[in-house]
Amino acid sequence: MNKIRIIFVKEVLDSMRDYRSWSTGLFWALFGPLMMGGMLMLIGSSVRGDIEKPLNLPVQNPGNAPNLIRFLEQHDVLIEPAPADPESAVKAGDVNVVLVIPEEYGQDFSSGKSATVRLVIDSSRQSAQVDVSRIQGLLDQYSSYLGALRLVVRGVSPQVLRAVDVEAVDVATPQSQATVLISFLPYFIIFAIFNGAAPIITDTTAGERERQSLEPLLINPVPRRIFVLGKLLAAFPFSIATLGITLLGFGLIFNMLPIEEYLGIRISLNVITLILIFLTCLPIVFLASAIQMLVASFARSTKEAGTYLPFIALVPSLPSLALAFFPVKPVLWTMLIPTFGQQLLINQFMRLEPISVSNAVISTVMTLVISAGITLIAIRLYNREQIVFQKS
């Protein structure tokens, strides 16, 4: 125990003096909050901006349908002259939508037939969606209004046309793109834990070999498992600090930005939620350190380790990707997978959903057991003579 402490203290002191590597770690800790804050602000401003602004609508031949144009103008639409070639202008993205009123519109309209107008749109352009659906809604509204008027003139109640009246009750919170973004938040937290441990693990394993100090070190009368444990534990404070800073960053951003007003969804990152997330993530500190230690021990140099470790930090993002597109309920099997279970739990904490205590316990125990297993493998690796004299 005493020797574990000696190794721990030396590695922490050594790493603290490696100013450059832990300041890089600090950047990674703030990376998630800054990126998410920036994206939330962008989404927020674009969603709000589109609805408040009057809609500029290029119209070809507005003179053919004066009543329709008047109706649109009453609904906050600014009519503009259409570009010469509406289709290529929309395709090129110069305008979002063009309304084309054909020559025969007036004639069809007066004879009581369905009068056709053409809407030129590009359905693959996400940013045009707000404009397109707004103008489509207005045209529908105008059409039903006129239809109803015609029925009334003929002495028929407009309601006979409405055999079924659809009244939608939307339980989904709006702005689904923001929800997708938010579902990556748990991953950013886990990513920070891995990145906080990486520089220390690299320096104490591959770095030790690279600077030729591993051989003299291992000649000291200390069992190899003590070295492994001391070095592993030395990564913990850095990893935990990175986790704390990341959570603090998210906390600040979610409490300073008017998220609810931006997105219409309720995300809570109050102090208690942050503490719960912190505790839930602590076992991942062990996992991240152990798995990175195992991999870095194979590397001959810090540079080589630096090419492996980022991949490992990316692996826990796969469940997050899946979560963003296929919502998974926090059931038992998900809790058995380290990092996946925690991501679901973080999501629940943020949404203020009730947490199943057994889920939290299973996820924690499972992560600790797997981390201990990985540590044992690392110890076995360090007991082989190839750890010092590997063929290069």
Residue 214 touches other proteins, criterion: CB under 8 A: yes
Say whether residue 215 binds other proteins (CB under 8 A): yes
Stretch 373-392 residues interacting with other proteins (CB under 8 A):
385, 388-389
Cα distances (angstroms) measured from residue 204 to each of 24, 228, 296, 341:
17, 10, 9, 30
Of 86-94, 219-227, 252-260, 354-362, the window that binds other proteins (rule: CB under 8 A) is 219-227
3-state helix, strand, coil in the chain (%, to 5): 70, 5, 25
Site residues (CB under 8 A) for other proteins, limited to 189-208 = 208
Which is closer to other proteins, CB of 216 or CB of 354?
216
CA 315 from chain centre, in angstroms, equals: 15
Contact with other proteins (CB under 8 A) among 63, 81, 155, 221? 221
Would you say 66 or 223 has its CB closer to other proteins?
A: 223
**Range in contact with other proteins (rule: CB under 8 A) among 10-18, 129-137, 250-258, 296-304:** 10-18
Q: Is 261 in the site for other proteins (CB under 8 A)?
A: no
Q: Which of 219, 256, 271, 357 binds other proteins (CB under 8 A)?
A: 219
Q: Does the footprint of other proteins cover residue 303 (CB under 8 A)? A: no
Q: Give the helix ranges, DSSP H, for 53-75.
A: 66-74
Asked if 225 touches other proteins (CB under 8 A), the answer is no
The residue behind tokens 């395709």 is 91
What phi and psi, each to the nearest 5 degrees, are found at residue 59? -125, 130
DSSP-derived 3-state class of residue 338: coil
Query: Is the backbone of residue 2 left (phi > 0), alpha (psi -120 to 50) or beta?
Result: alpha
Select from 46, 88, 116, 220 the one that contacts other proteins (CB under 8 A).
220
CB 39 within 8 A of CB 80: no
* Residues at the interface with other proteins (CB under 8 A): 3, 6-7, 10, 13-14, 17-18, 208, 211-216, 218-223, 385, 388-389
